[in-house]
Amino acid sequence: MKIGILGGGQLGRMLIQEALKYDDEFYTLDPASDAPCHNISYFTQGNFNDYETVLNFGKDKDVVTIEIEHVNADALAELENQGIKVVPNSKIIKTIQQKILQKQFYKAHSIPSPEFEVMDGSSDEIKMPLPFVQKMNTGGYDGKGVQVIRTAEDMKNLWVQDSVIEKLVDIDKELSVIVARNENGETKTFPVTEMVADPKLNLLDFNVCPVFLEEEIEDQINSITEKFLNAINSPGLFAIELFLDKEGKVWVNETAPRLHNSGHQSQEGNANSQFEQMYRVVKNLPLADTDAIIYSGMLNLVGAEGFSGKVVYEGMEDVLRLPETYVHLYGKTETKPGRKMGHINVLADSREELMEKLVMVKGMVRVIAE
């Protein structure tokens, strides 16, 4: 099959790397000439937000998918009209890429998500009591386009544009669950992972799997995934980011209609990875076993503060000497502060050992520049 991917970043790169053991042709579209997929696929440099560019890219493909949600969904809808398969379908992409529609989707399908109101760009009038979270309607990514407004003084930073204003949850844990559905309606769910964020960068720092939760909390998560999979009416792989509050209630933070950073540890820690699963979804094959086979965790390799230029991975040789430690670099030659350059997966026999190893590895390597 000729499989087209909108976006040529690291998620697409790892999907293609996993799928190279099968027999397909991969085509990618990305605005950056040196995107991570440029040298492992039939690459087109172009804007995946441009209607005509997306239409022309997809018209001769058997299936078109995404590795970033900020794409032209109207062009994908037209490709569907022309008989091209789009995974996930254009309707759910359009719903998820707009935070307002995404929140309304949860409400319509009784999927628990924090209380919210819609703010349009014509007024800064807010009914939601402080503190609250503001999420820009479109364009937010990797913590960008999101801010917490805690005090009256913070109100001066409010963005006067289309946004979701959301009640601030008193978070105990941030969790993620990756679910998949193929065209035949078969579904599979990966074990829940816990996400530990870097408070400064607002990026995922560590990801840990499995997470042992009380049965009542697991039941809430199972109910959420079941409602979501029944509601989407589309094949796809979706990362559902969750908040567990301090009273034991689970809330959906947001959903990504694609491969996700919170599933990277599945490359070595699960019977099959999220990338294997995504390939099977795109091809409408039987879905893969998702069981966790050992304790696994992931840490992001992020550009260090104060370094921009040709990347150097300081301490990497020492990391490569460690057992059950797996390096995944994204093929990005230029680093800058906060840029995701790769990740490292770690395996262990217990959660305690896993956390110790993750902290140790994080202290061993730095992403700097020449």
pLDDT band, very low/low/confident/very high, at 285 (cuts 50, 70, 90): very high
- Given this model, what pLDDT does residue 25 score? 98
To the nearest 10°, report the CA torsion of 353, 355, 357, 362. Answer: -170
Looking at the predicted structure, is the pLDDT value of residue 80 above 90?
yes
345 close to 298: Cβ distance less than 8 angstroms: yes
| Amino acid residing at 263 | G
H or E stretch covering 283: helix 274-283
Supply the pTM of this predicted model.
0.95
Map residue 68 onto helix, strand or coil. Answer: coil
224 close to 240: Cβ distance less than 8 angstroms: yes
Looking at the predicted structure, is the pLDDT value of residue 24 above 70?
yes
- Using only the alpha carbons of the chain, give its radius of gyration: 20
Rounded (10°) angle between helices 10-19 and 274-283: 70
Q: Which phi and psi angles does 309 have, rounded to 5°? A: 135, -160
Token representation of residue 128:
């939601």
Give how far Cα 159 sits from Cα of 147, 148, 156, 266, Å.
Answer: 9, 11, 9, 37
Query: Which among 198, 175, 193 is positioned nearest to 301, based on CA atoms?
Result: 198
Q: Which residue, chain included where needed, has tokens 């014509």?
A: 122
Q: What is the pLDDT of residues 227-271, one digit of tens each?
A: 999 999 999 999 999 999 999 999 999 999 999 999 999 999 999
Q: What is the pLDDT of residues 138-171, one digit of tens each?
A: 987 666 899 999 999 999 999 999 999 999 999 9
- Given this model, what pLDDT does residue 320 score? 98
**Can you list the pairs that 86-89 forms with residues at least 24 positions away whose Cβ atoms lie under 8 Å?**
86/58, 87/63, 87/234, 87/235, 87/236, 87/281, 87/282, 88/232, 88/234, 88/235, 88/236, 88/237, 88/238, 88/257, 89/233, 89/234, 89/235, 89/236
